[in-house]
């Protein structure tokens, strides 16, 4: 599960550079530097996803993932409360993404737990 989560996180981060315009469009107006924040969050997602593959830093990666998921939640809220701006997505789907953030946080939290008897990479 760790490899799947790390890979999905890294791929999601890479997507920030492939579909940059989409990510800029979901940024709440009150946040500054939309393009820069999209790039920063993309780099962070890729880095954290890769970091999760290494036992020595997986705990740091998991806590970073939790922080990043919390940090990007305003964009998901933006989409849910302004569905008219995102006609390609159903309103139900936009609202369903919000509790899914809790699932992602729980998944990342799973990797913060110490594992007995495992040393090194």
Residue 40: give the domain boundaries: 2-110
pTM, rounded to two decimals: 0.88
Is the pLDDT reported for residue 107 higher than 60?
yes
**Mean pLDDT to the nearest integer, 98-118:** 86
Q: What is the pLDDT of residue 118?
A: 52
As a whole-number percent, the residues of the chain with pLDDT over 90 amount to 91
- How many whole angstroms separate alpha carbon 81 and alpha carbon 65? 24
Higher pLDDT, residue 34 or 119: 34
> Does 115 reside within a domain?
no
Rg (C-alpha) for the chain, rounded Å, is 15
> Does 120 reside within a domain?
no
Q: What is the pLDDT of residue 1?
A: 87
> Does 65 reside within a domain?
yes
> Does 19 reside within a domain?
yes
Q: What is the pLDDT of residue 116?
A: 56
12 with 51: CB under 8 angstroms?
A: no
* Domain count along the chain: 1
Contacts of 117 (CB under 8 A, 6+ apart): none
- How many whole angstroms separate alpha carbon 9 and alpha carbon 47? 9
């Amino acid at each position: 599960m760790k490899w799947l989560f790390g890979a999905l996180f890294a791929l999601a981060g890479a997507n920030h550079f492939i579909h940059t315009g989409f990510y800029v469009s979901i940024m709440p107006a009150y946040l500054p530097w939309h393009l820069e924040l999209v790039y920063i969050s993309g780099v962070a997602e890729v880095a954290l996803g890769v970091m999760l593959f290494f036992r020595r830093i997986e705990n740091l990666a998991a806590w970073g993932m939790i922080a990043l998921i919390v940090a990007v939640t305003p964009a998901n809220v933006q989409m849910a409360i302004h569905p008219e701006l995102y006609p390609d997505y159903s309103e139900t789907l936009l609202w369903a993404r919000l509790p899914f953030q809790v699932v992602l946080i729980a998944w990342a939290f799973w990797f913060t737990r110490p594992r007995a008897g495992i040393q090194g990479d």
